[in-house]
Amino acid sequence: MSDPDDFDSLLKQRFEREHQHVPADPFVAATIQRIRIERRQAAGWRTALYAAALVAAVIASPWMIAGAARLNALLESSLAWTTGFPGAWVLGALAVAALLISRVRSR
Q: What is residue 41's predicted lDDT score, i.e. its pLDDT?
A: 97
pTM for this structure? 0.46
Distance CA 64, CA 70 (A): 10
Number of domains in the chain: 1
pLDDT digits (tens, 9 = 90+) for 2-26: 555 566 777 777 777 765 566 678 8
Q: What is residue 4's predicted lDDT score, i.e. its pLDDT?
A: 57
Q: Is residue 44 part of a domain?
A: yes
Q: What is residue 102's predicted lDDT score, i.e. its pLDDT?
A: 94
> 25 is in which domain, residue-wise?
4-81
Q: Is residue 75 part of a domain?
A: yes
Q: Is residue 104 part of a domain?
A: no
Strands (E), the chain: none
Give the residue ranges of the chain where pLDDT is below 50.
Answer: 1
Q: Is residue 90 part of a domain?
A: no
Q: What is residue 19's predicted lDDT score, i.e. its pLDDT?
A: 58
> Measuring CA to CA, how many Å separate 38 from each of 8, 28, 51, 86, 95?
39, 15, 20, 65, 58
Q: What is residue 72's predicted lDDT score, i.e. its pLDDT?
A: 93
Cβ pair 81, 87 in contact under 8 A = yes
